[in-house]
Homo-oligomer: A and B are copies of this chain.
Amino acid sequence: MNIKLYALTGTDRNRPFSPHVWKVKLALAHKGLPYEVEAVGFTQIPKLEGGATKTVPVLRDGERLVIDSFAIALHLDEAYPDRPSLFKGEAGRALARFVEAWSQTTLHPAVTRIALLDIHDMLDAEDRRYFRESREARFGMPLETVAAARADEIRTFAGKLEPLRHMLKVQPFIGGDAPLFADYIVFGALQWLRITSRADVLAADDPVSLWFERCLDLHGGVGRSVRAA
C-alpha cells in the first residue's frame, strides 16, 4: 500500500473529524484506491514529513507529498486517470471551486461555532492547550464566548443550506445523477458536525438530510465507519 493519509483526531485515534480529511476519504473511496491512515493530533501536524505542513490532510503517494484537500483530489484524478473521475473535466474542476468557496464561507464558520467546545473536549491535554490558544487568538475572545453563538447557529444552520436544498429539486447529487468531489466538499462539512457535535440542525425529512444519508451510504458506507457523536 503506497498511499498514506494523515488524519486529524482527538484522543480517540479512530475518530477522524476534520472536514478536509473527510473530503479526501470519500475521494479515495470514489477512486477505489486502498490507503492507510495515520491518525495525528493537532500538535503533531507540524512534525509530520519533515515539517512539510501546518494543516491536514496531507497525502503521501509514493514519492509525492500533497497538501490541501482540493490539491489532493486534483492529484488523484491526474495520477489515476483510469479510475472514476472526481471532477469529470475542466468545467467540473472550476465549478467545484465555487462549491468549495460556498462551503468554506457559509458552512464552516457555522460548524466552528456549533462544535467548538465539543472539539476541544475531544482532544488530548496538549492539543487542548494548543487549540484553545490558537482559536482564542484567531477569534480574539475566549472559546466560551465564541460558543455563546451556538444556539443561534444551530437555529439558522438549515437556512444556510437552502442553495443545496433548492438544487436537489432537479438532481440527486451536486455532481448530477452521481456524486463528484463537489458533493464530498459539502459532505465533509456536515460529517465534521456529525462526528463532533450532537447538535440537531436538520429535520430527518429535509432534502439535505436525505442527500447526506445518501453520501453516508456511498462506497460501502465509508462515511458511517465513524459513528455520530
A contacts, CB < 8 Å to B: 87-102, 104-106, 162-167, 170-171, 173-177, 180, 182
> Chain B: which residue is nearest A173 at the CB level?
B94
Cross-chain pairs A/B with CB under 8 angstroms, 16 sampled: A88-B90, A89-B91, A89-B92, A90-B176, A91-B176, A91-B180, A94-B171, A94-B173, A94-B175, A95-B98, A97-B170, A97-B171, A101-B165, A101-B166, A105-B162, A106-B163
With both chains docked as a complex, state the minimum distance between the C-beta of A54 and any C-beta of chain B, in angstroms. Answer: 19
Q: Given A174-B98, A175-B94 in contact, is the A166-B105 Cβ separation under 8 Å?
A: yes
Q: Which 4 pairs between the two chains have the least Cβ-Cβ distance?
A: A91-B92, A94-B176, A88-B91, A95-B95
Chain B residues with CB under 8 A of A97:
167, 170-171, 176
> Chain B: which residue is nearest A93 at the CB level?
B176
Q: Given A97-B171, A170-B97 in contact, is the A163-B105 Cβ separation under 8 Å?
A: yes
Chain B residues with CB under 8 A of A99:
95, 98
Task: State in angstroms the CA–CA spacing of A102 and B182 once bound together.
Answer: 14
